[in-house]
């Protein structure tokens, strides 16, 4: 609205309080102007013109605003829809991956469940009734294993020849038997030329028995630079050694936390074995636990963060009946550590897999530990065939891969079969990582620098070469030429 006043001030001495009369004198329809005439009592007239401009049309602004708001809302809806679709696609991909791995080995299934068990450890809160917690966890494990094995071949009949000490009667609900199948070697970054050189070297040694004998004699003469075993030889530690001539080096022995040890001791007959970095050992080589050292063994497993145990000892080994360091069913407490047997799966005549739930009763923390038990390797001998041990190793590594903790490996004394297994695994691990140079004898010397007497027999060294040759040959065949 615009108003224009036109006032005639020719008579300036008129008083402002005089009466005024207003009348419409003219109206202009085109400009919508109204001409008002203010008449005073004097003959002088003041004209006031009021110009009324047309009002702005707000409808256009309203329409534009509505359109903009609608566009913004549409964009938000589109973004949310795309995000939800991608999330669902990821979930479907994960589920598809799980279902496609249904025929995977027990090691992989156990590794998957370790993460799940650790994630649920805080939720289970073992402060609840022990029996109920164990039962629930066992049911959960069996459901998990059942879902993993739904596409596996028909299982063999239960193998009842597995020796168990103390006449234990396994619970049928926690035991199962599954047939073994041959597995292809894992994907490898092995250098092809290096693989052929190593294969040629091993095949030449295997053909020429005299070369193996000379190399073994040279290995027997090898003396480590540092070889003190004073701590293990102390009289107070003698009862903890299965054999008094097999002691760990002082500089590589595993140290227990003496403040939480049952005997306030830091000693256990166990040695760390590292490949390249001594700060990150790949293995812990140890003897089979004695009845008096079972609590020390589980303390070591807990404190070293181990989640995989490789047991290379049959329960009845020559004339020795080894102590069962795990419960045959249910749970058992060893000092501060509770061990519960969750499941036991017999994969074939050569090995089986057990899953344990380990709890630190002081901190209430829990962990899943998997034991791979090789059954057909005699104390002073070699396995029936390299194939069984190589398949066993693949299952161990599938369960272990991605972990930053050492694997606990033990046999009766922790040197013969344990050293042979570590030698085979260390050489193959180096080769699959693309190492350009492999010296098997030097690798064994490196292991002996950390665990005295590793690989006791020439037959075990020869078996290691045979197993390495077979696996390298299989890997080379699988690689693109």
Q: pLDDT tens-digit profile of 377-418?
A: 998 899 999 999 999 999 999 988 767 899 999 999 999 999
Tokens at residue 15, please? 């008083």
Q: Do 147 and 172 form a contact (C-beta atoms < 8 A)?
A: no
Q: Do 254 and 300 form a contact (C-beta atoms < 8 A)?
A: yes
Tokens at residue 329, please? 């069913």
CA gap 407, 400 in Å, rounded: 8
- pLDDT computed for residue 135 by the predictor: 52
User: What secondary structure does DSSP assign to 148-180, as a single string?
Assistant: HTTTSPPPPPP------GGG----GGGEEE---
User: What secondary structure does DSSP assign to 368-380, as a single string?
Assistant: EEEEEEE-S--TT
CA gap 284, 408 in Å, rounded: 5
> Which CA distances in Å does 450 have to 112, 118, 138, 228, 422?
32, 32, 39, 11, 12
Lowest mean pLDDT among 57-66, 123-132, 329-338: 123-132
- pLDDT computed for residue 20 by the predictor: 43
Residues 286-302, mean pLDDT to the nearest whole number: 97
**What phi and psi, each to the nearest 5 degrees, are found at residue 88?**
-65, -35
CA gap 453, 343 in Å, rounded: 34
CA gap 274, 447 in Å, rounded: 8
3-state SS assignment for residue 40:
strand
- The alpha helices in 125-252, defined as continuous H runs, are 130-148, 192-207, 209-220, 230-233
Query: What is the rounded end-to-end Cα distance, in angstroms, of the chain?
Result: 90
Q: How many CB atoms lie within 10 A of CB 37?
A: 14
To the query of whether residue 411 is one of the catalytic residues in this protein, the response is yes
Q: What is the CATH number of domain 171-478?
A: 3.90.190.10
CA gap 16, 475 in Å, rounded: 115
Buried b (16+ CB within 10 A) or exposed e, 83-107: eeeeeeeeeeeeeeeeeeeeebbbb
CA gap 49, 46 in Å, rounded: 10
Under 8 Å CB-to-CB from 11, ≥6 apart: which residues? 42, 44
Q: Do 359 and 378 form a contact (C-beta atoms < 8 A)?
A: no
Q: Do 191 and 352 form a contact (C-beta atoms < 8 A)?
A: no
Mean pLDDT of all residues in the chain? 76
3-state SS assignment for residue 55:
coil
3-state SS assignment for residue 345:
strand
Residues 199-227, mean pLDDT to the nearest whole number: 88
- pLDDT computed for residue 57 by the predictor: 59
Tokens at residue 177, please? 């038997």
Between 202 and 399, the higher pLDDT residue: 399
Active-site choice (141, 348, 411, 422): 411
| Residue matched to tokens 């075993």 | 229
- pLDDT computed for residue 183 by the predictor: 52
CA gap 122, 66 in Å, rounded: 52
Query: Residue 397's closest CA among 185, 195, 117, 254?
Result: 185
Residues 310-334, mean pLDDT to the nearest whole number: 87
CA gap 303, 363 in Å, rounded: 12
Element holding 25 (H helix, E strand): strand 20-28
Tokens at residue 195, please? 């693989």
- pLDDT computed for residue 195 by the predictor: 79
Q: Do 447 and 271 form a contact (C-beta atoms < 8 A)?
A: no
Summarised one tens digit per residue, pLDDT across range 99-157 is 444 344 344 434 443 444 443 443 333 344 344 444 544 554 455 445 444 444 333 33
3-state SS assignment for residue 376:
coil
Summarised one tens digit per residue, pLDDT across range 166-200 is 333 333 334 443 333 345 555 567 778 877 887 88
Residue 320: strand pairing partners:
317
pLDDT for residue 445 is more than 70: yes
Query: Residue 395's closest CA among 411, 371, 368, 424?
Result: 371
- pLDDT computed for residue 63 by the predictor: 86
- pLDDT computed for residue 399 by the predictor: 87
Summarised one tens digit per residue, pLDDT across range 254-280 is 999 999 999 999 999 999 999 988 899
Lowest mean pLDDT among 82-96, 174-188, 313-327: 174-188
Tokens at residue 218, please? 């040279």
Boundaries of every domain in the chain: 4-51, 171-478
Report for 23-27, 47-51, 209-213: range of highest mean pLDDT = 209-213
- pLDDT computed for residue 30 by the predictor: 52
pLDDT for residue 436 is more than 50: yes
Summarised one tens digit per residue, pLDDT across range 336-386 is 999 999 999 998 999 999 999 999 999 999 999 999 999 999 988 999 999
pTM listed for this prediction: 0.64
Q: Do 268 and 296 form a contact (C-beta atoms < 8 A)?
A: yes
């Amino acid at each position: 609205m615009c108003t224009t006043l036109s006032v005639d001030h020719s008579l300036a001495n008129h008083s402002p309080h005089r009466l005024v009369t207003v009348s419409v004198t003219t109206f202009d329809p085109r400009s919508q102007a109204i001409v008002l005439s203010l008449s005073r009592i004097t003959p002088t007239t003041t004209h006031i013109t009021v110009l009324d401009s047309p009002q702005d049309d707000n409808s256009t602004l309203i329409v534009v605003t509505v359109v903009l708001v609608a566009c913004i809302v549409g964009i938000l809806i589109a973004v949310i829809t795309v995000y939800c679709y991608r999330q669902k696609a990821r979930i479907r991909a994960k589920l598809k991956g799980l279902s496609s791995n249904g025929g995977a080995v027990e090691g992989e299934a156990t590794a998957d469940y370790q993460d799940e068990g650790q994630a649920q450890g805080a939720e289970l809160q073992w402060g609840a009734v022990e029996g109920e917690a164990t039962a629930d966890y066992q049911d959960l494990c069996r459901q998990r294993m059942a879902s993993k094995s739904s596409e596996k071949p028909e299982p063999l009949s239960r193998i009842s020849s597995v020796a168990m000490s103390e006449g234990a009667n396994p619970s049928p609900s926690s035991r199962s038997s599954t047939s073994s199948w041959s597995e292809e070697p894992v994907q490898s970054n092995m250098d092809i030329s290096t693989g052929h050189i190593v294969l040629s070297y091993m095949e030449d040694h295997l053909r020429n028995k005299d070369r193996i004998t000379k190399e073994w004699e040279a290995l027997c003469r090898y003396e480590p630079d540092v070889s003190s075993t004073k701590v293990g030889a102390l009289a107070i530690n003698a009862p903890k050694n299965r054999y008094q001539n097999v002691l760990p080096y002082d500089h590589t022995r595993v140290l227990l936390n003496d403040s939480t040890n049952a005997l306030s001791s830091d000693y256990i007959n166990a040695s760390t074995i590292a490949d390249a970095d001594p700060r990150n050992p790949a293995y812990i080589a140890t003897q089979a636990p004695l009845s008096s050292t079972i609590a020390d063994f589980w303390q070591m497993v807990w404190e070293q963060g181990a989640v995989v145990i490789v047991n290379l000892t049959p329960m009845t080994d020559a004339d020795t009946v080894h102590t069962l360091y795990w419960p045959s069913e249910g749970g058992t407490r060893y000092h501060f550590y509770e061990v519960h047997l969750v499941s036991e799966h017999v994969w074939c005549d050569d090995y089986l897999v057990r899953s344990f739930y380990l709890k630190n009763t002081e901190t209430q923390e829990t962990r899943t530990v998997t034991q791979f038990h090789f059954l057909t390797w005699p104390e002073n001998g070699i396995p029936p065939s390299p194939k069984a041990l190589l398949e066993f190793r693949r299952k161990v590594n599938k369960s272990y891969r991605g972990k930053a903790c050492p694997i606990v490996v033990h046999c009766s004394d922790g040197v013969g079969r344990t050293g042979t297994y570590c030698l085979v695994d260390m050489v193959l691990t180096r080769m699959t990582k693309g190492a350009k140079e492999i010296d098997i004898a030097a690798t064994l010397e490196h292991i002996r620098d950390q665990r005295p007497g590793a690989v006791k027999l020439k037959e075990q060294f020869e078996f290691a070469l045979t197993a390495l040759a077979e696996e390298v040959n299989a890997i080379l065949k699988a690689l693109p030429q």
